[in-house]
Chains A and B, each alone.
Chain A
Amino acid sequence: KAGVTQTPRYLIKTRGQQVTLSCSPISGHRSVSWYQQTPGQGLQFLFEYFSETQRNKGNFPGRFSGRQFSNSRSEMNVSTLELGDSALYLCASSKIQGTWNTEAFFGQGTRLTVV
C-alpha cells in the first residue's frame, strides 16, 4: 500500500514568488491536512480538506491557501513568498473525517527554502 506522497521533496524559491505543493493521500483516504514545521514554531496546523471542502483552518495569513480535488489529491499554494515561509511542509491523510479515534499518516514533506 503506497503511503502519502508529497512533491516536490525540495524547492528553492525567491521572495515574492508563489509556490504550489502537491500531496497524494493514501488510496481510500478522503481527509487531507497540511502542516508547517519550522525550528522556531514547531509543527503548526495549516488547514484540512475533506471531500473537496476546507473543514478547518489554522492561524495563517491568507497567502496560504489550498484545495482538494475529486480524487482526494490536494495542493497548497503560498503566494508572495517571504523568507519566514522557509519550512518543511507536511501533508497528512486520514481515512475518516470528523472523528478523533483515527490515525493520521504523514508524508515525508516538502522542504521549501525562500531566498
Chain B
Amino acid sequence: DAKTTQPNSMESNEEEPVHLPCNHSTISGTDYIHWYRQLPSQGPEYVIHGLTSNVNNRMASLAIAEDRKSSTLILHRATLRDAAVYYCILRDRGIQGAQKLVFGQGTRLTINP
C-alpha cells in the first residue's frame, strides 16, 4: 500500500487560511489523492480528491505538486467547525479494483477562536 506522511497536529485561527501538507513519495501513476476528515464522534467525511491538476470544491482546494509526491489541502477561511482530524489517502485499487481506503494517522487540526 502506498503511504502518506502528514504532520501529527496543526493549529490555526478562525477565518484564516489553513494549509495541510501531505507527502506521498511512493505514489504510483494512477493513484488518486483523496482527503477525508473526521469530526469528533463522527465517521470520516469526504473532502476532496484529485489526480494531477489542482481541484476546488465548496469545502476546500487541493494543490498537487507537479511530481505528485506531495499535496496540500487548503481551507480558505477556517471556522471552528473545521476542527477535525484530516486524512490524506492514496486510493488503493486492491484486488480486482475493489475499494479500499488506507488511512494514516492524519493531522489533528485545532482552530482557535
Contact = CB atoms under 8 A, between A and B. Distances in A.
Interface of A: 4, 31, 33, 35, 42-45, 48, 50, 55-56, 58, 90, 92, 94, 97-109
Contact of A104 (B41, B92, B97, B99): B99
B98 A103 contact: no
A56 B16 CA distance: 41
B3 interface: no
Contact of B45 (A33, A45, A48, A106): A106
A92 B21 CA distance: 25
A42 B105 contact: yes
Interface of B: 30-32, 34, 36, 41-46, 49, 51, 87, 91-106
A104 B98 contact: no
Contact of A97 (B36, B45, B98): B98
Nearest to A108: B43
Given A42-B104, A106-B43, A106-B44, A98 B49 contact: no
B96 A103 contact: no
A16 to B, nearest CB: 28
A99 B42 CA distance: 25
Nearest to B41: A108
Given A100-B32, A101-B32, 17 more contacts: A31-B99, A35-B101, A35-B103, A42-B104, A43-B44, A43-B87, A56-B96, A56-B100, A90-B43, A92-B44, A100-B93, A100-B99, A102-B99, A104-B99, A106-B43, A107-B43, A108-B42
